[in-house]
Amino acid sequence: MPRVVDHQERKTMIANAACMVIARDGLDAVTLANVGREADCTTGTITHYFHDKEEVLTAALDHAIETMNARMVRRLKKNPEDVLGFLCETLPLGRRGREETKVWYCFWSRAMHDNHLAKSQRSMHLRWRTRVRDLLLGMQTRGVIVLKHDIEDEAEALCAMINGLGLRATLDPGEWPAVRQVRLLEDYLSRLQTA
Amino acid sequence: MPRVVDHQERKTMIANAACMVIARDGLDAVTLANVGREADCTTGTITHYFHDKEEVLTAALDHAIETMNARMVRRLKKNPEDVLGFLCETLPLGRRGREETKVWYCFWSRAMHDNHLAKSQRSMHLRWRTRVRDLLLGMQTRGVIVLKHDIEDEAEALCAMINGLGLRATLDPGEWPAVRQVRLLEDYLSRLQTA
Amino acid sequence: MPRVVDHQERKTMIANAACMVIARDGLDAVTLANVGREADCTTGTITHYFHDKEEVLTAALDHAIETMNARMVRRLKKNPEDVLGFLCETLPLGRRGREETKVWYCFWSRAMHDNHLAKSQRSMHLRWRTRVRDLLLGMQTRGVIVLKHDIEDEAEALCAMINGLGLRATLDPGEWPAVRQVRLLEDYLSRLQTA
Amino acid sequence: MPRVVDHQERKTMIANAACMVIARDGLDAVTLANVGREADCTTGTITHYFHDKEEVLTAALDHAIETMNARMVRRLKKNPEDVLGFLCETLPLGRRGREETKVWYCFWSRAMHDNHLAKSQRSMHLRWRTRVRDLLLGMQTRGVIVLKHDIEDEAEALCAMINGLGLRATLDPGEWPAVRQVRLLEDYLSRLQTA
DNA sequence: CATGAATGAGGTTTCATTCAT
DNA sequence: TATGAATGAAACCTCATTCAT
């Protein structure tokens, strides 16, 4: 009788370990040995669950995204009109946020030259942007903001702004305490309220 | 006398070759052999001019930054009030722009875990942001815009916006023709005009 | 379970292979490839068991020392009063002795500029000298010799003599058959008998 | 008109520079670049005066030997009966002595696997030993010592003793101040006086 | 399932040597 | 005579991957 192991749970654990390594030491530090050390298993175990390294990386990205997404969803469920709170989940505000966004950002440069990762990133971005768009629509409906331009463009612009803020905050954390990130995001949103 | 060679020019040539490799195939494809192939020399020649690979990468980043900066300065000299034109130089609009920004972006993720690169990036960002700030100040003086918030924050926000737009355009070029990038940048600037 | 291998035994085997290479072709011929050829494995296997080349060299030195030491101990156990026999184990008398001492001697020059090896050498020398001293003391007790000088100095001097003889014998084997080495060592010891 | 340069003097200067490098950092640190740095010239200059690296090393060894020999000769001229003084010139007593003997010792291990160097070492040893022998003969004639064994063996034994002492002093300088080296050498000589 | 030993390709780096100037 | 640019061989080391157990 084979040892009973939840296959999917094991994969997730390894993907999570990979995320830890990425967040701590960067994508270039991701070796199967390092991931194994973090996940407390050997390289053999990893290749048992993943065909090759690329699959591990993809799983790591997916894991980070799903975790972030889950938090966003949870937040929205609590209060569907808390747009700022929702958006803040994608900024590196706390320790958790910093880790997750770092993983996300690390894959940007790789996605530029890896079609597979690029697709993954695009579909993930699409989902995020769609939600952002719907929230903007809701705000407009409620009269909170007035969108002067194409709604898709507005959503894209907001996403770009958030990515830009998060990036800068990650590259220069000393200059970017949470309050400053939030303040600049609020400033951006406040400009949309103009009649 | 030895073979006559302009030492600095040779270094620049190699740095440029490294940029080409980065823009085409990404940071992970930067091997001394690849750079040598691009620069039409051997790995030995490269290490003759650079102590090690890290120096080559740093030189590549510096080269890309300097090239971009030179274009910005040239543009400003022609017309010191063409703020939009100035900002567009840091967007991946044409072939050259796409190449240069790609090199720049590729170093973001590495800077997150490499203190040396981080410093280089920060000082470069500071220079850029300072210029952006001064231009915003000029616009305010000319009455073109009305800044409601801290000027440093405004400059940072604009930089973040541009980085975000450029990033998205690079990750999903199909969705981001030059006109769209410029349009969204204009939209952002137009919101600053509000009385 | 993985391929069953005695980790320590494998390390010893590789260290021994390194010794063979050193004895045959010298320290400068010690490349991981050469050691691998001797040990019938690849460079990858070697770095699997040793962190880097320096560790391989250290292990080789330790191995040679331990082997020589084991022979000395064995000899002493058989006949604790056979001082000459004991000392002869550190001379390049036979094929085995020539190999082991050669490895030992090769590390002298390296120890002069490598602190780590220097320490290893010193501790090994201390152990050897201590034993030599105790044997000299025993001989004095038995009335075989009369030590006129400080016992530590006497031990050091004897060690130096043996190293000097072994060195000359190694550099000019044609002039130094085993009998000559032993004769000169006996001459030295006989002078200690003087009343 | 070609620049006037004393060819031989230039070679000596380079050989001396190589000795400095060897004494300071060991044989493995001898790269043409390092020697050039020490001699204040380029690698090109070195290969202009020496066919290849091996020639540089041979010249370095010869240089060190000649320097030491010159000192011995000078000493003997002053007082042909000062045997101890003569022998002390081959021990690492002062700064100069330490440097020269270090160079000498460094070549031992290399000579074990390099026939060319081995010959060089043997002829140099022969010269030294012959002189030592003649001095011993002189002492016997003067009645200072009584040689019980073959004179060649006695000379060899003394040489071996000196090499052994010098080696130990070099490997463990902390334990071997000049006085101790001289004392042990004197002890050895004193035993030859026995009637 | 899991291990970790073994491989070997591929990368960086060093350096003696050649050679145009 | 001297330079130092360029080469390329050879070394070390890393690491994804395979596989016997």
What pLDDT shows up at residue C118?
Answer: 94
Report chain D residues whose CB lies below 8 A from the CB of C102. 112
Statement: the CB of B42 is under 7 Å from strand E? no
CB B86 within 8 A of CB B76: yes
In chain B, the residue whose alpha carbon lies closest to the alpha carbon of A169 is: B160
Q: Tell me the C-alpha distance between A26 and B192, whole Å.
A: 37
Average pLDDT over residues D57-86: 93
What pLDDT shows up at residue D2?
Answer: 45
Q: Which residue of A119, A171, A183 is the best one to mutate when testing the B interface, meaning the one whose CB has the most B CBs within 10 A? A: A171
Count CB neighbours of B40 within 10 A.
9
Q: Tell me the C-alpha distance between A44 and C125, whole Å.
A: 44
Q: Tell me the C-alpha distance between B28 and B44, whole Å.
A: 20
What pLDDT shows up at residue C2?
Answer: 63
State the nearest Cα–Cα gap between A3 and chain B, in angstroms. Answer: 39
Q: Tell me the C-alpha distance between A112 and C54, whole Å.
A: 40
The token pair at A100 is 């997750």
Establish whether domains A1-78 and A80-195 are of one fold.
yes
Q: What are the CA-CA distances from residue A168 to residues A19, A35, A101, B68, C162 (Å)?
A: 21, 27, 12, 19, 69
The token pair at A60 is 């790591």
Report chain D residues whose CB lies below 8 A from the CB of C109. 26-27, 105-110
What pLDDT shows up at residue D195?
Answer: 53
Residue C106 contacts by C-beta under 8 Å, 6 or more apart in sequence?
A: C22, C26, C27, D109, D112
- Chains with 3+ CB–CB pairs under 8 A to D are C
The token pair at D132 is 């030592």
Statement: the CB of A48 is under 7 Å from strand E? yes
C192, amino acid identity: L
Q: Tell me the C-alpha distance between D81 and A54, whole Å.
A: 81
Q: What are the CA-CA distances from residue B172 to residues A122, B99, B169, C171 (Å)?
A: 7, 15, 5, 72
Which stretches within chain C are classed as H helix? Answer: 7-25, 32-39, 43-49, 53-78, 83-88, 95-111, 115-141, 151-171, 178-191
Count CB neighbours of C27 within 10 A.
23
Contact A109 B113 (CB under 8 A): no
Q: Band of the pLDDT at B3, cuts 50, 70, 90?
A: low
What pLDDT shows up at residue A8?
Answer: 87
Work out the percent of chain A whose per-residue pLDDT is above 70: 97
- The continuous run of DSSP H or E covering B4 comes out as none
Statement: the CB of B44 is under 7 Å from strand F? yes
Statement: the CB of C122 is under 7 Å from strand F? no
Residue A22 contacts by C-beta under 8 Å, 6 or more apart in sequence?
A: A29, A30, A60, A102, A103, A106
D20 interfacial to chain C (CB closer than 8 Å): no
Q: Band of the pLDDT at A193, cuts 50, 70, 90?
A: confident
D13 interfacial to chain C (CB closer than 8 Å): no
What pLDDT shows up at residue C193?
Answer: 82
pLDDT of D115-127, one tens digit each?
Answer: 999 999 999 999 9
B2/E19 CA-to-C1' distance in Å? 9
What pLDDT shows up at residue A6?
Answer: 80
Residue A141 contacts by C-beta under 8 Å, 6 or more apart in sequence?
A: none
Is the pair B, C in contact (3+ CB pairs within 8 Å)? no
Angle made by CA atoms D116, D121, D127, in degrees to the nearest 5: 135
Q: Residue C91 in 3-state DSSP?
A: coil
pLDDT of A2-59, one tens digit each?
Answer: 455 688 889 999 999 999 999 999 999 999 999 999 999 999 999 999 999 999 999 9
Q: Band of the pLDDT at A195, cuts 50, 70, 90?
A: low
The owner of tokens 């800044």 is: B147
State the nearest Cα–Cα gap between C15 and chain D, in angstroms. Answer: 19
Statement: the CB of B32 is under 7 Å from strand E? yes
Q: Tell me the C-alpha distance between D111 and D90, whole Å.
A: 19
Count CB neighbours of A131 within 10 A.
17
State the nearest Cα–Cα gap between D118 and chain C, in angstroms. Answer: 7
Residue A37 contacts by C-beta under 8 Å, 6 or more apart in sequence?
A: none
What pLDDT shows up at residue A2?
Answer: 45
Average pLDDT over residues D97-104: 95
What pLDDT shows up at residue B195?
Answer: 52
pLDDT of D160-183, one tens digit each?
Answer: 999 999 999 999 999 999 999 999
Report chain B residues whose CB lies below 8 A from the CB of A26. 109-110, 112-114
* Superfamily (CATH H level) for B80-195: Tetracycline Repressor, domain 2 (1.10.357.10)
Give me the residue spans of the domains in chain B: 1-78, 80-195
CB A178 within 8 A of CB A94: yes
B4/E21 CA-to-C1' distance in Å? 7
Average pLDDT over residues D82-91: 95
pLDDT of D125-152, one tens digit each?
Answer: 999 999 999 999 999 999 889 888 999 9
Torsion on CA atoms D106, D108, D110, D112, rounded to nearest 10:
-170
Q: Tell me the C-alpha distance between B99 and B25, whole Å.
A: 11
CB C36 within 8 A of CB C42: yes
Please provide the CATH number assigned to the domain covering C1-78: 1.10.357.10
CB B129 within 8 A of CB B155: yes
In chain C, the residue whose alpha carbon lies closest to the alpha carbon of D163 is: C164
* Whole-number CA gyration radius for chain B: 19
Statement: the CB of A67 is under 7 Å from strand E? no
A32/E3 CA-to-C1' distance in Å? 14
Statement: the CB of D143 is under 7 Å from strand F? no
* CB crowding C123-151: b at 16 or more within 10 Å, else e: ebbeebbebbbebbeebeeeeebeeeeee
- What are φ and ψ of residue B180, in 5° steps? -70, -40
State the nearest Cα–Cα gap between B106 and chain A, in angstroms. Answer: 5
Q: Tell me the C-alpha distance between B121 and B108, whole Å.
A: 8
Q: Is the pLDDT of residue B1 over 60?
A: no
Report chain C residues whose CB lies below 8 A from the CB of D162. 164
Tell me which residue in A102, A109, A184 faces B27 most closely, judged by beta carbons.
A109
Q: What are the CA-CA distances from residue B23 to residues B16, B50, B66, B179 (Å)?
A: 10, 20, 16, 22
What pLDDT shows up at residue D1?
Answer: 37
Statement: the CB of A31 is under 7 Å from strand F? yes
State the nearest Cα–Cα gap between D182 and chain C, in angstroms. Answer: 11
- Chains with 3+ CB–CB pairs under 8 A to A are B
pLDDT tens-place values along chain C, 195 residues long: 566 778 999 999 999 999 999 999 999 999 999 999 999 999 999 999 999 999 999 999 999 999 999 999 999 999 998 999 999 999 999 999 999 999 999 999 999 999 999 999 999 999 999 999 999 999 999 988 988 899 999 999 999 999 999 999 999 999 999 999 999 999 999 998 875
D65/F1 CA-to-C1' distance in Å? 29
Average pLDDT over residues A73-91: 93
Average pLDDT over residues D50-67: 95
Q: Largest Cα–Cα distance in chain A?
A: 70
Q: Tell me the C-alpha distance between A57 and A117, whole Å.
A: 9
As a whole number, the mean pLDDT across chain B is 94
Q: From residues 31-50 of D, which are strand F contacts by CB within 7 A?
A: 41-45, 47-49
